Amino acid sequence: MMAIILLAQPLGFAADPAVVPTEQGYVRGVVTSKTRMWRGIPFAEPPVGSDRWQSPRPAKPWTPAVLDATQFGHNCLQSGHSVDMGWPQPRSTLSEDCLTLNVYSGPAGASPAPVLFWIYGGGFQGGGGNETRLNGTWDTALMRGELVVVTSNYRLGAFGFAASSALAARETALAGEARGSGNYGLLDQRAAMKWTQANIAAFGGDPSRVFIVGQSAGAFSVSEHLVRPASWGLFAAAGMESGAFYAGMECPTLASSDPKWKAYVAAAGCAHATDPTECVVALPADAILNLTDRGWGNEPWDSPVIDGIDLVAPGPTLAAEGKVAPVPILIGGVEEDISAFDDSPHYPCTRDDFVKVARDYGFTEAEADALAGQYATDPLRPGRDPDQLWCDRIHHAGADAWSNCPARRLADWYRVKQQPAWWYKWSYVPNGPNGAQGGHLAHHSVEQPFIFHVLAETDEERKEDKGMYFIDPTEVHFSERIVRAWAAMAASGNPNARDASSVGWLPFNSSTHGSALLIGGGAGSPGTFNATNNFLQAKCDLFDAVFSERMRGQRGPLRVVKPWMTTESERRD
């Protein structure tokens, strides 16, 4: 790798800050007064033809010698569920040939900078590293060479997560070694991380300080990498925003996926083929995509899989046993996150409705009543109708079940391992359309424009997100402090910046058990950062008790809500 990096630039490109070497060849990007950016760099071979439903293979050297990296590549093929979640992606922008990444850096010549490696959400059904508003230009401009941002694509839906014993056997036969199935999207993420380790120094990044961070399905992905040893060593810190292990213990295996694959093969018209699996592999990409869109009697392929090779047990089981990557973590969720509870059938909602939906989740009557007692004192959020009080309490409990208490749980498992953990809860309501869109609440994905410091939007971006995901001019300083906290985590594994922008975050450790950073305010008021101890303890203890019984097999499955199951008004990754 170093021999490649130290090669002289091609004739005519000497000292050109837009031209950078990689293991596969040179890439030419775009240079502005504040940032440099490279888009659409292949990090793996296209997963097409016989490579469909195969582990990603490293990209081959390209010709011509200098690759044009000024334009985004295609996002990965994604089903109609992605439109339901708010991505009206034109088919012309999507392709099965989609394994590319983008790099955003400061001016050339700066000291090696920490790297924020972003993994997008979308319920493993939609999204992309090319999402126009979530790029690194604003962050790298703000940090003035003290941060490099990488965004990448990974396969989605059936292309990324279809699983079966037959697919595992096919890959094992082709690879000549035992291989699993159903984790292709996560393997793509790992391949992009490997590319980053090998090449990011040439772009001004420090490969020893890579902070992988994701939101929703991206957070689920990061939590999965924490319990998969094959990913260890590719990152120095990990961040999870709203979604770590959001499926809990309900993780499919190859055996449980086999009937679903059989139904899929039949729906594809391949059940009576000589080799049904090869028949599906040979189908045009649009046939796979259309099959997913029209429905075939099962839920989408939307989850990592216990394949016995890459993942050997449910993620929470491995984490509880201390089998986690030895890196600091930053983890949290938002106040009105996706809810693991069903909606109340009544309005106005009542305490009895709360008890009912808690029982539907998996609590006993007595446990549900005790949980209702914990949420009975939650105050009415500013600007909310009093008739919404118990409805909001139901949502808050469901959000704690889905993201906030699982975040605390993982932070506590890290505490036991004596690894640094930093926990937060976001209740800040944006002043602009982002806040209004969510009913003036801190809805799922509300924090994204603040973390990417999106100061304005282009016409293309407004079309993509309906003009919601940018920060109000009154929120610039607040967003800067957020960015600097995430950048500090990338730099040192501690989100407290070493200047006046520090947010005063307490570590989640034995002396401050349950400590959290509460990110609040908004809706016309300034943003606030308050550190507290023993946060959500009584509430999360009730959820943890039920979850522990589920882990031990002493309780049946708990209700699982996937991001694609909720409406666009409730979430958008």
What is the CB neighbour count within 10 angstroms for residue 254?
A: 22
> What's the whole-model pTM score?
0.94
Whole-number pLDDT of residue 112? 96
Distance CA 563, CA 148 (A): 29
Question: Nearest 10 degrees: CA dihedral of 87, 93, 94, 100?
Answer: -100
For residue 478, the number of C-alpha atoms closer than 13 Å in the C-beta half-sphere is 23
Indicate the helix (H) or strand (E) that contains 81: helix 80-84
Indicate the helix (H) or strand (E) that contains 526: strand 525-532
The pLDDT tens digits for 434-476 are 777 767 889 999 999 999 999 887 777 776 666 677 899 999 9
**Would the CA dihedral through 336, 338, 339, 342 be positive or negative?**
positive
Whole-number pLDDT of residue 90? 73
Q: Which parts of the chain sit beneath pLDDT 50? A: 1-7, 567-573
* Whole-Å CA distances, 29 to 37, 66, 68, 140, 488: 6, 10, 7, 15, 27
Whole-number pLDDT of residue 320? 97
Distance CA 118, CA 215 (A): 9
Whole-number pLDDT of residue 173? 92
Structure tokens at 550: 């589920």
Instruction: Determine contact, residues 256/262, Cβ cutoff 8 Å.
Output: no
Classify 426 as helix, strand or coil.
Answer: strand
* Whole-Å CA distances, 433 to 46, 170, 322, 366, 440: 38, 49, 42, 41, 9
* Whole-Å CA distances, 240 to 146, 187, 416, 421: 22, 18, 19, 11
Distance CA 431, CA 382 (A): 13
Structure tokens at 120: 């997008």
